[in-house]
Amino acid sequence: MVDQISYARSKIGIGVARSVGAGLLIMIGGFAIIGPAVIPSDPAAQDFGASLAQIGGDYLLGADHYGRSLLARLAHGARLSFGMAFLTMLAAAIPGVVLGLCAAWKGGWIERALELVATIVLALPGLMLVLLLLAFAPGNYGPLFLGLSLTLWVEFYRVTKATTNTVLAQPHIEAARMLGFGSRYILVHYVLPVIGPMIATLSAFAMATAIIAVSTLSAISVGLQPPTPELGSMIVELLPYYAEVPVHVLLPAALIFLLVLGLQLLAQGDRG
């Protein structure tokens, strides 16, 4: 009875965590999607007369050292971070899952070749691979997107392959094959329902990783460059003025924190 009560409490906790995470992501997603369309200010428009304007007045969330609206820049920065993280996750998840299913289903030299490729990718630190690609076109979206995708697909591949191998080894799969059920039927009805929740959890973690990586690389001036309204670069640009306007520096940092927190809470719910 005690175990049942503890389990029920844990499920309630997971449900609350998932709801909070989803709520955060919906609010930030709405701000990122709708904000740039309804906020009249241009995120790149400069007004030196409003340099470091405080919150309120003509600028709802103040202005940076160039007099650019922080509300407009935060909205565009949230859209950039959220959109880039989502596309990076898709570019990593789709080939990772497909190749994982292929390796588990076919086995043999195909599995060995894919394992070799995955091992080679894992031998390079993730950020090192991104930096190598950024060296050819610093500050551009393409190398950053490609580098993060190449780093993250391995996790999708390995989880998919290991889980699919476990499912395919079960007796009811062999029985389904003997009864004449095809590969497509087994994949849709037996394999995908098992790996689906795991892929959803990995997707949330992959998006959180991409957001942190993009912000970190921009903060050290090797990612997206100003005047692009990227959250990490906004923090670095405003850091010299922390003593005058500390809240301005904390706003993009808080937005990054809430984005990652929402994804982590959603992933926690998926694990349940």
All structural domains of the chain with their residue ranges = 2-271
Picking from 122, 110, 117, 42, the residue whose alpha carbon sits closest to that of residue 76 is 42
Q: What is the pLDDT of residues 70-87, one digit of tens each?
A: 999 999 999 988 888 899
54 secondary structure, DSSP code: P
Distance CA 43, CA 73 (A): 5
Q: What b/e readout covers 27-41, taking b as 16+ CB neighbours within 10 angstroms?
A: ebbebbeebbeebeb
Higher pLDDT, 57 or 258: 258
**Would you identify the CATH topology of the domain 2-271?**
MetI-like fold (1.10.3720)
What does the pLDDT read at residue 4?
42
Q: What is the pLDDT of residues 142-193, one digit of tens each?
A: 778 888 888 889 999 999 999 988 888 888 777 877 777 777 888 888 888 8
Distance CA 175, CA 191 (A): 15
Token code pair at residue 34: 């709708």
How many of the other CB atoms lie within 10 Å of CB of 242?
13
What does the pLDDT read at residue 1?
45
Q: What is the residue-averaged pLDDT of the chain?
A: 83
Spatial contact of 171 and 179, defined as CB atoms under 8 Å apart: no
- Using alpha carbons, list the distances in angstroms from residue 131 to 126, 227, 269: 9, 21, 33
Instruction: Report the pLDDT averaged over residues 209-235.
Output: 83
Q: Is the pLDDT of residue 8 over 50?
A: no
